Amino acid sequence: MSPRDLMGNLPRGKFVVLLFFCYWVFAVTASLTYDRKAVIIDGKRRILISGSIHYPRSTPEMWPDLIQKAKDGGLDVIQTYVFWNGHEPSPGKYYFEDRFDLVKFVKLVQQAGLYVHLRIGPYVCAEWNFGGFPVWLKFVPGISFRTDNEPFKAAMQSFTEKIVSIMKEEKLFQAQGGPIIMSQIENEFGPIEGRLGAAGKTYAQWAAKMAVGLDTEAPWVMCKQPDAPDPVIDTCNGYYCDSFRPNTKYKPKIWTENWTGWYTQFGGPVPRRPAEDLAFSVARFIQNGGSFVNYYMYHGGTNFGRTSSGLFITTSYDYDAPIDEYGLLNEPKWGHLRDLHKAIKLCEPALVSADPAVTQLGMNLEAHVFKTDSGACAAFLANYDTKYASKATFGNGQYDLPPWSISILPDCKTAVFNTASVGSLNAGKEMTPVDGEFTWLSYTEEPASSSEDDTFTEYALWEHLNVTWDSSDYLWYMTDVNIDPDEGFIKSGGSPILTAMSAGHVLHVFINGQLSGTVYGSLNYPKLTFSNSVKLNVGNNKVSLLSVTVGLPNVGAHFETWNAGVLGPVTLQGLNEGTRDLSLQKWSYKVGLKGEALSLHTVSGSDSVEWAKGSLLAKKQPLTWYKTSFSTPAGDDPLAFDMSSMGKGQVWVNGQSIGRHWPGYIASGRCNDCNYAGNYTEYKCQTNCGEPSQKWYHVPRSWLIPSGNFLVVFEEWGGDPTGISLVKRGTKTVSA
């Protein structure tokens, strides 16, 4: 009988892990089960505090410190997604090095004495390129993502098995003495299941069964999946989860994503979530019987390279998390939550043994009391009012409760913590410029244009991703436009109007080598239309449209079918003939930039072109590459580039991409006052309006050498590199 068979026979969906084959190998018999109250580790029900840290969003050199800070902050568990497109860049060719060294990451968590919740997915959403799916998956014949589709299920199963088998080989599951106490299959599938009809339902059941069949001897969860079949636990994601109920009475109440803040998009403001409200939401979940809380994100980090998605997601994935993008403590949030976790842990014996008795103490006032037969007692006193503080009478005491707050009484007498009373120090961000200026060299590439020997031509407009397979953000659409000397606009000195419709995300229009205009979409509306008068000469004119993607979609039903690029129509208005439709004339295609083909971001590649310097340095020029070298400042403060003088493009240091820069996209939003009280949404507490959505770009110290660091910037639409500076990130402490 395998543990799986055993599980199936157990009443009430519980399962017990018995080590039939290898129990003599380990000194202790590890066991992992759950019941309606909590996850049970080695026979003990546990209140578990978890936090998301995504390994590729920082460097291996940063991992030990991030994990230690998470531990010091009172975490028991580190949760991460597994990033399929990072691990299987082409079918069957796996990559587990460097930032994708998953085994190393899990082992570091283990060494710190923490557990791991491994969210394999392999759909991860996560504002990560294509939701974690490799782009080649889109081109598997007959594929349809996340539904009852054989090619998709085969690929998903094969990757899931690969990850599970690596974890088993390395003995990383808890039953083997490892840190992984929980896994996840799929991700937030419930909300789209209904739209897929019967196939959605079948797929969800298949995914659960497939995962359970892998015999990891640790529970699987499916978040936002109300029909998750036993023994898979359905869990909650959201800003608040206190009213969430698992789909059976014998599953614990787990919160897999408690959003600590929110992501930033280019063009959007930077959201903040007040520490008071975050602590309130966690206390509320626990007082309602929750036993596993995960902070999404605990460290958000950086979308290096071209890994960001959701379309228009910024390179920074700071998320206003308790540990900031740079690995520094985000105070007062980190400290306030640490104090909350201490208070919750003091209540653990009562929380895991008793169910809460809820009593009204007055208007908007409630007490949740956990009292056990053995005499343990813990109480949570809540004030839900968003405006008024209250004095609550409870037991023999009087308790002051600020608005929208919960006090925690681990002995039912003494309030040791209130979610709205922030004891830790506030700390602002400080970016200090590092001495020394860069000496820049520039190289401006010509816009590509159609020529006689183009091999890649078609009498049609092609979809962008269909051509690039995301090997580059850039795709050139090139055509020729012949203008007769008799054209009326030539005689009158006017100009015709070129209109080009694109499914997104950015379009630069070049006419005869000159930038004629740039248009771009936004996260909520990636589509765009260029429509402008253009200067055309008699004879042949070169029209070159540079279509640019800003990450592939990561969310929505069948996002694999979403298009990008110039799908047309493309027209020219104001000719003698009226409007000329260019859509079906001959187009040439070129994937990527010349500088990309030459690897100008590397030292050896950069030798292949002539660079201009001094008075010839290109400024405010589109399609321009810049290079310089610099020394690493002493100390260990995290470093960033202030890119505010630039427009849009990409930055590399020593050949490594630190991500897309786009300070030219200014944040619009409503940066109102931020009152912590009341239900949080990402539209509250916005910051940074009127400023670039992102002007600082993290450069990990581990990518630097003491001197002679090679810095390359590619600029799409025009910027002034002499304004770029290297800054150190520090914290300036101001009292709360």
Interacting residues toward ligand NAG by CB under 6 A: 125-127, 188, 237, 257, 259, 263, 296, 386, 462-463, 466, 555, 678-679
* 61 in active site: no
Euclidean distance between CA atoms 205 and 148, whole angstroms: 10
Amino acid 297 reads: M
H or E stretch covering 105: helix 102-111
Beta carbon nearer to ligand NAG, 173 or 263 = 263
Rounded CA-CA distance 504/144 in Å is 22
Candidates 186, 193, 217, 257; catalytic one:
257
**Sheet with 365-371, edge to edge strand ranges:** 357-362, 365-371, 377-383, 405-409, 417-418
- Compare residues 386 and 537 and give the one whose CB is closer to ligand NAG: 386
Comparison of 555 and 736: residue with beta carbon closer to ligand NAG: 555
d(CA 708, CA 362) in angstroms, rounded, equals 67
Q: How many CB atoms are closer than 10 A to CB 209? A: 12
CA dihedral 185, 190, 191, 197 (to 10 degrees): 120
Which residues make Cβ contacts (< 8 Å) with residue 359, sequence separation at least 6?
A: 366, 367, 369
Q: Rounded to the nearest whole angstrom, what is the least distance from the CB of residue 131 to ligand NAG in the complex?
A: 8
What is the smallest separation between the CB atom of 591 and ligand NAG, expressed in angstroms? Answer: 11
- Residue 460 or residue 734: which is nearer to ligand NAG going by CB? 460
Taking the C-alpha atoms of residue 504 and residue 549, their distance in angstroms, rounded to an integer, is 7
Largest alpha-carbon pair distance within the chain? 99
Residue 154: other Cβ atoms inside 10 A: 12
For the bound state, the minimum distance from the C-beta of residue 79 to ligand NAG, rounded and expressed in Å, comes to 12
Q: For helices 333-353 and 275-287, give the axis angle rounded to 10 degrees.
A: 10
> 123: helix, coil or strand?
coil
Cα torsion 310, 311, 314, 316: sign: positive
Q: Which residues contact 307 (CB under 8 A, 6 or more apart)?
A: 56, 86, 128, 129
Q: How far is the CB of 713 from ligand NAG (least distance, A)?
A: 29
CB of 259 to ligand NAG, least distance (A): 6
SS3 assignment for 276-333: HHHHHHHHHHHHCCCCEEEEEEEECCECCCCCECCCCECCECCCCCCECCCCCECCCH
Of residues 183 and 656, the one with the C-beta less far from ligand NAG: 183
The least distance separating ligand NAG from the CB of residue 524, rounded to whole angstroms, comes to 13
Tell the smallest beta-carbon distance from residue 240 to ligand NAG (Å).
7
We find the least distance from the C-beta atom of residue 235 to ligand NAG, in angstroms, to be: 12
Check 161, 170, 188, 487 and give the catalytic one: 188
Nearer to ligand NAG, 126 or 543 (CB): 126
What's the min distance (Å) between Cβ of 564 and ligand NAG?
11
Sheet holding 457-458, edge to edge: 457-458, 587-591, 474-483, 539-548, 506-511, 514-520
Calculate Rg over the CA atoms of the chain.
28
Residue nearer to ligand NAG on the CB measure, 537 or 681: 681
C-beta closer to ligand NAG: residue 462 or 611: 462
Alpha-carbon gap, residue 225 to 247, rounded angstroms = 9
Report the residue number, 263 or 697, with the smaller CB distance to ligand NAG: 263
Q: How many angstroms separate the CA atoms of 263 and 293, rounded?
A: 20
User: Residue 422 CB, nearest distance to ligand NAG (Å)?
Assistant: 20
Phi-psi region of 403 (alpha: psi -120 to 50; beta: other; left: phi over 0): beta
458 is catalytic: no
Give the nearer residue to ligand NAG in terms of CB position, either 563 or 629: 563
Separation between Cα atoms, residue 416 and residue 344, nearest integer Å: 10
Q: Which residues, other chains included, contact 289 with Cβ-Cβ below 8 Å and sequence gap of 6+?
A: 37, 253, 355, 356
Residues 6+ away with beta carbon under 8 Å from 604 = none
Residues designated catalytic: 188, 257
